Amino acid sequence: MSILVLLENDHGTVRPSSLSALAAAQKLAVAAGTPGEVDAVLFEGQQDKGHAKAAPAAAKLAGVRNLHVVDGHPTAEAAAPILVDVAKQHGASHVVAAANAVGKNVIPRAAGLADSQPVTEVVAIEGADTFTRPVYAGSALMTVRSKNPVHYLTIRPGSFETSEAAGSGNATTHQHQPPHTPQARLESVDITTSERPDLEAARVVVAGGKGLKDAERFKALLAPLADELNAAIGASRAAVDADFAPNEIQVGQTGKIVAPELYVAVAISGAVQHLAGMKDSKTIVAINADPDAPIFQVADYGIVGDAFEIVPELVKAIKAV
């Protein structure tokens, strides 16, 4: 029996959300009574644009016994059968991935091929077959017992500390080529590069809403604050829909789920769909002109007032420290 974890390449290192998946896999191994029995599949991704391979870093991760490296950028249709095959090869009891774009695409397909029902967005492991996950856009937590012979899981990266995954292991490496699939063919990959931390893994997120008026003011107001705090920038869906910010930085039910140490919500009303993506943040600071804005119900610190006055003052104060 083993636990199989899906890892992804992030410019030559293992993606932080994959390290969270590995931490969850290690917890599952303990819960299943097989500590240390973790194997991994690594998707290297696009190699033709000078991206470094992550296999050397992945092979050193503590507690990984076998590392299956898939070269190139498999489509989800091609990736899913690889996961199922490797899971069978190692007699895996669980297959775990981060609940990010890749995990959400691959795990349900792999579970379907294995005739298993996936358990998604897991935030806590209660036992080898018992998991906690949010429902109703995060308004409630559900504890589920899975009767599947093999459990296919996606985990919320913010819920599993990555520190347990760090270390210097020595995994045995196996190479795989992604099979060609008739259903889907990869035409191209456009990767958005940013100097800022990855939104889903950032320790600090500064997010803006529709109240920031337009794309120019959104950027001009938030960038200096994000620079000072070494923060990722996020946005509400209304801000994304109004073209203030790109789709990939939307936070919420239909965007990214984040749980940073500090989340600064600027001119965001706090609709339930937005809260679903950020309310597990450790400390929430809200800046809003409306004292009755729902965001203040989840905020640890609230500032009522005009964001265009408050944020520059905040930047000045941080610089002065």
**250 annotated binding-site participant:** yes
Nearest residue (CB) to ligand FAD, 99 versus 239: 239
Nearest residue (CB) to ligand FAD, 54 versus 285: 285
C-beta of 289: minimal distance to ligand FAD in Å? 4
Cross-strand partners of 304: 288
**251 annotated binding-site participant:** yes
Helix 307-320 to helix 215-229 angle, to the nearest 10 degrees? 20
C-beta of 234: minimal distance to ligand FAD in Å? 9
C-beta of 294: minimal distance to ligand FAD in Å? 8
Residues that bind ligand FAD (CB under 6 A): 209-211, 236-239, 250-255, 267-269, 271, 273-274, 277, 287-290, 293, 306-308
C-beta of 242: minimal distance to ligand FAD in Å? 9
What contacts 24+ positions apart, CB below 8 Å, involve 248-253?
248/192, 248/199, 249/199, 251/199, 251/205, 251/207, 251/277, 251/278, 252/276, 252/277, 252/278, 253/137, 253/138, 253/277
**133 annotated binding-site participant:** no
Nearest residue (CB) to ligand FAD, 63 versus 234: 234
Question: What is the rounded radius of gyration, in angstroms, for the C-alpha atoms of the chain?
Answer: 20
Nearest residue (CB) to ligand FAD, 194 versus 254: 254
C-beta of 49: minimal distance to ligand FAD in Å? 30
Query: What's the Cα-to-Cα distance from 43 to each of 20, 66, 111, 193, 199, rounded to whole Å?
Result: 16, 14, 18, 19, 20
Nearest residue (CB) to ligand FAD, 66 versus 250: 250
Nearest-CA neighbor of 104 among 320, 256, 267, 311?
256
Nearest residue (CB) to ligand FAD, 78 versus 295: 295
Q: Which H helix or E strand runs over 283?
A: strand 283-288
DSSP E strands: which ranges in 31-164? 38-43, 64-70, 92-98, 119-122, 124-127, 130-135, 140-145, 151-155
C-beta of 46: minimal distance to ligand FAD in Å? 27
Nearest residue (CB) to ligand FAD, 170 versus 254: 254
Q: Are 307 and 212 in contact (CB under 8 A)?
A: yes
**266 annotated binding-site participant:** no
How far is Cα 177 from Cα 20, in angstroms, rounded to an integer? 25
Output the residue with the shortest Cβ distance to ligand FAD: 252
C-beta of 308: minimal distance to ligand FAD in Å? 5
Count the alpha carbons within 13 Å of 253 in the hemisphere toward its beta carbon.
Answer: 14
3-state SS, residue 59: helix
**252 annotated binding-site participant:** yes
**236 annotated binding-site participant:** yes
Binding-site residue set for FAD: 236-237, 250-254, 288
Binding site, residues?
236-237, 250-254, 288
